[in-house]
Amino acid sequence: MSKVVVVTSGKGGVGKTTTSASISTGLALKGYKVAVIDFDVGLRNLDLIMGCERRVVYDFVNVVQGEASLKQALIKDKRVPSLFILAASQTRDKDALTKEGVGKVIEDLKADGFDYIVCDSPAGIEKGAQLALYFADEAIIVTNPEVSSVRDSDRILGILQAKSKRAEEGEDPIVEHLVITRYNPARVEAGEMLSVDDVIDLLSVPFLGVIPESEQVLNASNSGLPVILETESDAAEAYEDVVARFLGEEREQRFLTEEKKGLFKKLFGR
């Protein structure tokens, strides 16, 4: 049974694409057949973060408009088998996507036996974002622990509940999950960031976990590696936890509090 998962946030720059890349990689590592689609037409990002930008021949818009077959456009990941990327076009804009076209692509992916179809939403609440969430069965809401990001996530949650296919056809609502990225316990303690409790209190969405703020995320993105593959980094472990919890596993929350520096670290400055 294939599942369509949208990764969305409302606000831009909170880590949707990073999260899409890591979660789809994580699911593929668990043995599922995964396709990840970049809905941010006009501003490709996902192919850069997945390190396949030089292998894009046909893109999502080509497939939607019938200029290429899915088989031609799906890029097979070189590191993880059973992971495929459908890149966004850089030369078109979001108007090139139609509901019927996107629906057809998703149906074809389901027929192809994909277990998870991860839709990386563009920022905003307009057409592009609405198309990315329209066909979703589950949604991963990505939020930074700050007021404007949380507010925008609340807005997109309202749209998920009102304007998705499931809502329009009166089916069971989209299953919602929350991931808080760029979490910095020290700044939370200093009162500069909202705490996990504040965010959950406001959004009241089941919580998958935090991704700690770290340089590793940026470095991994720059080198075209989903950060979940940057083994031994906190961010990779955090994403690994998130994927496990997404699949229903119970795991204790980590990275919520500041790591106390031991004497050794203090002496040697890390």
Partner 1 sequence: MSKVIDLKGSILSLTILNIYSDDIQQVKLEINEKVEQAPSFFSGIPVVIEPKVSLVDPTFLALLVEFLYQLQMIPIGVRSEDPGIQDQAEYAGLALFPPQEHKARHKTVPEELKEDMPSEIGALVIKHNVRSGQQVYAKGRDLIVLGSINPGAEVVADGHVHVFGKARGKIFAGAAGYADAKIFASHLNPEMVCIAGMYQLSEDIDDKAKEGFVEVALKDNKLVFNSKILG
> Where along the sequence are the contacts to partner 1 (CB under 8 A)?
125, 151-152, 154-155, 157-159, 161-162, 201-202, 204
In the complex, least distance from residue 153 CB atom to partner 1, rounded to whole angstroms: 9
In the complex, least distance from residue 93 CB atom to partner 1, rounded to whole angstroms: 24
In the complex, least distance from residue 155 CB atom to partner 1, rounded to whole angstroms: 4
Closer residue to partner 1, CB minimum distance, 171 or 259: 171
CA-to-CA distance for 211 and 255, rounded, in angstroms? 8
In the complex, least distance from residue 50 CB atom to partner 1, rounded to whole angstroms: 32
Q: Which of 99, 141, 118 is nearest to 3 (CA)?
A: 118
Is-contact 138 2, C-beta < 8 A?
no
Closer residue to partner 1, CB minimum distance, 176 or 237: 176
In the complex, least distance from residue 211 CB atom to partner 1, rounded to whole angstroms: 23
Closer residue to partner 1, CB minimum distance, 2 or 9: 9
SS3 assignment, position 180: strand
CA-to-CA distance for 179 and 41, rounded, in angstroms? 24
Q: 179: which strand partners?
A: 142, 209
Upper half-sphere CA count for residue 140 (Cβ side, 13 Å): 35
Closer residue to partner 1, CB minimum distance, 157 or 217: 157
Is-contact 87 49, C-beta < 8 A?
no
* Apex 37 CA angle, 35 and 40, nearest 5: 170
Closer residue to partner 1, CB minimum distance, 48 or 175: 175
In the complex, least distance from residue 158 CB atom to partner 1, rounded to whole angstroms: 4
Closer residue to partner 1, CB minimum distance, 201 or 258: 201
Entry field: residues in the chain? 270
Helices and strands of the chain, counted as H and E runs:
13, 8
Closer residue to partner 1, CB minimum distance, 65 or 161: 161
CA-to-CA distance for 23 and 7, rounded, in angstroms? 9
In the complex, least distance from residue 154 CB atom to partner 1, rounded to whole angstroms: 4
Region for residue 170 given its phi and psi (left: phi exceeds 0; alpha: psi -120 to 50; beta: otherwise): left
